[in-house]
């Protein structure tokens, strides 16, 4: 799976949890404006959470008599190439996104044609387009589209539409449409768009009543005008399919402001998801390394790779070289311990293309000695995964020109032997 598709799936999971919480807990509250911003901010947060990389630590495993000194980060490994089948999900996703974008543009063109038929004017400081009598009223951006008859006979409709403009509901709708294009496959995103539109109607209805318009007469007007359809997903219309909910909400007792704190319950749930969706890596704490003679002998393929990539400062390791777990003061790399060397390896390791194509994975264990002068010598594979992976492991180890601070034994610098694993894992 490509990184982008993996991002889409993870963000879709976060969105599902967030929207499910809203529908089950916050949907029936009267915190219209707060819920409106919570829906938008929560959606944006769920889009950003997959970009947050949290690495969890797990205990390292032992390899025979050798304890592992470090491990290559799995995130360094490039995605597996899968030919046409791996490209199919990306093609399906792109086709869906393009279709939703095309429908959005088609709706915008329809509104533009409708605006050309109407009469442009300004009323009470608002841009207004007067429409034929049979066209339902709605708001798009900062422009109110209203039938001439409705403007003359039902001024409450115009007041309702201006509430959408004053509250800048059009910004919400444009943003949510962008989310729909990206997460078109997630049905909860479409439900959230409907819920956001309903919150806009609640907020506009509340604003109309606060203007001094009689609530009963206004509700009767809603019933009379409850015919037709919303013509454009980026528009806010006076007529709305959720008429019963709108009228019920007008009679509902105001929800306590403390209910806003309910959103805090999402924090540990989303944090747990972020933790679960990030791959674990093994603990980098070094453990004693065995003597080279006790390790499994290198295969013929290992020897070939070794002779091709081996670059050493000294021809042979120092005779005084000690195992890592025995030396009194451990060698340090770049001012840090062996973990710092693991990070350096992670940054410079490349997943061989031939291994990706063939789907080859595995763990290569490389042994080397940090000499008394800080140089690395006797770099060799002691446990092979595959000749291709072995060669890359040796290449990256031998490419390191940074000298170590040598280990100290009895007050003197000595050579120290490491057994170091590098894990190649396709994601």
Query: Tell me: the pLDDT tens digits for 203-251?
Result: 988 888 888 888 788 878 777 776 444 444 555 555 554 677 777 777 6
Nearest to 229 by CA among 102, 119, 160, 134: 134
**Residue 376, domain member (yes or no):** yes
Average pLDDT of span 29-38: 91
Examine residue 103 and state whether it is found in any structural domain, yes or no.
no
CA 354 to the chain's CA centroid: 29
pLDDT band per the 50, 70, 90 thresholds, residue 358: confident
**Gyration radius of the chain's alpha carbons:** 33
Inside any domain, residue 61 = no
- Do the domain assignments include residue 240? no
Q: Give the pLDDT confidence score for residue 312 in this predicted structure.
A: 30
Q: What integer pLDDT is reported at residue 301 of this predicted model?
A: 32
Instruction: Say if CB 57 and CB 407 are below 8 A apart.
Output: no
CA proximity to 385, closest of 304, 306, 299: 299
Task: Sheet containing 362-370: give its strands across.
Answer: 322-323, 416-424, 362-370, 376-383
Give the C-alpha separation, 415 to 375, whole Å: 9
Which tens digit of pLDDT belongs to each residue from 261-298? 989 988 888 888 888 877 554 443 433 343 333 333 33
Q: What is the extent of the structural domain holding 324?
A: 282-424
Phi then psi for 361, rounded to 5 degrees? Answer: -130, 165
The better pLDDT of the pair 219, 33 is held by 33
Q: What is the pLDDT of residues 89-116, one digit of tens each?
A: 788 888 999 999 999 999 889 888 888 8
Q: Is residue 367 one of the residues assigned to a domain?
A: yes
How many domains does the structure of the chain reveal?
Answer: 1
d(CA 380, CA 394): 7
For the chain, what percent of residues have pLDDT higher than 90? 13
pLDDT averaged over the chain? Answer: 76
Phi and psi (nearest 5°) for 9? Answer: -65, -45
More confident residue, 357 or 245: 357
In a domain, 403, yes or no: yes
The whole-number average pLDDT for the span 356-385 is 88
Judge whether 249 lies within some domain. no
Q: Is 363 among the domain residues?
A: yes
Q: How confident is the model at residue 2 (pLDDT cuts 50, 70, 90)?
A: low
pLDDT at 132: 79
pLDDT for 236: 58
Buried b (16+ CB within 10 A) or exposed e, 15-40: bbbbbebbeeebeebbbbebbbebbb
């Amino acid at each position: 799976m490509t990184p982008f598709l993996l991002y889409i799936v993870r963000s879709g999971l976060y969105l599902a949890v967030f929207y499910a919480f809203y529908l089950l807990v916050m949907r029936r509250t009267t915190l219209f404006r707060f819920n409106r911003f919570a829906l938008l901010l929560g959606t944006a947060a769920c889009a950003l959470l997959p970009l947050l990389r949290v690495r969890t630590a797990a205990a390292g495993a032992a390899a025979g008599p050798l304890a592992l000194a470090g491990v290559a980060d799995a995130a360094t490994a490039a995605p597996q190439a899968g030919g046409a089948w791996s490209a199919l999900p990306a093609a399906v996703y792109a086709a869906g996104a393009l279709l939703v974008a095309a429908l959005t543009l088609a709706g915008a063109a329809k509104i533009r044609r409708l605006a050309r038929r109407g009469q442009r004017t300004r009323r009470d400081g608002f841009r207004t387009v007067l429409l034929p009598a049979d066209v339902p009223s709605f708001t798009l951006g900062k422009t109110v589209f209203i039938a001439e008859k409705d403007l003359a006979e039902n001024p409450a409709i115009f007041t309702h539409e201006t509430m959408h403009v004053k509250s800048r509901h059009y910004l919400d709708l444009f943003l949510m449409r962008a989310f729909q294009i990206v997460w078109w496959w997630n049905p909860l995103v479409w439900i959230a768009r409907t819920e956001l539109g309903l919150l806009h109607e609640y907020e506009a209805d509340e604003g109309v009543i606060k203007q001094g318009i009689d609530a009963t007469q206004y509700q009767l007007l809603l019933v009379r005008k409850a015919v037709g359809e919303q013509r454009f997903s980026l528009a806010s219309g006076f007529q709305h399919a959720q008429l019963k909910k709108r009228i019920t909400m007008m009679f509902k007792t105001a929800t306590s402001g403390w209910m806003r704190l309910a959103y805090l319950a999402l924090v540990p749930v989303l944090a747990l998801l972020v933790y679960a969706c990030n791959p674990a890596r093994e603990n980098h704490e070094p453990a004693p390394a065995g003597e080279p003679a006790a390790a499994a002998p290198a295969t013929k393929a290992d020897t070939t790779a070794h002779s091709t990539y081996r670059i050493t400062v000294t021809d042979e390791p120092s005779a005084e070289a000690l195992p890592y777990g025995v030396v009194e003061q451990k060698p340090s790399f770049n001012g840090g311990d062996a973990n710092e060397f693991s990070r350096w390896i992670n940054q410079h390791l490349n997943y061989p293309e031939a291994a990706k194509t063939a789907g080859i994975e595995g763990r290569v264990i490389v042994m080397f000695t940090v000499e008394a002068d800080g140089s690395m010598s006797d770099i060799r594979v002691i446990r092979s995964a595959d000749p291709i992976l072995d060669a890359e492991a040796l290449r990256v180890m031998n490419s390191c020109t940074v000298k170590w601070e040598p280990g100290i034994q009895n007050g003197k610098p000595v050579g120290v032997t490491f057994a170091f694993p590098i894990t190649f894992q396709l994601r």
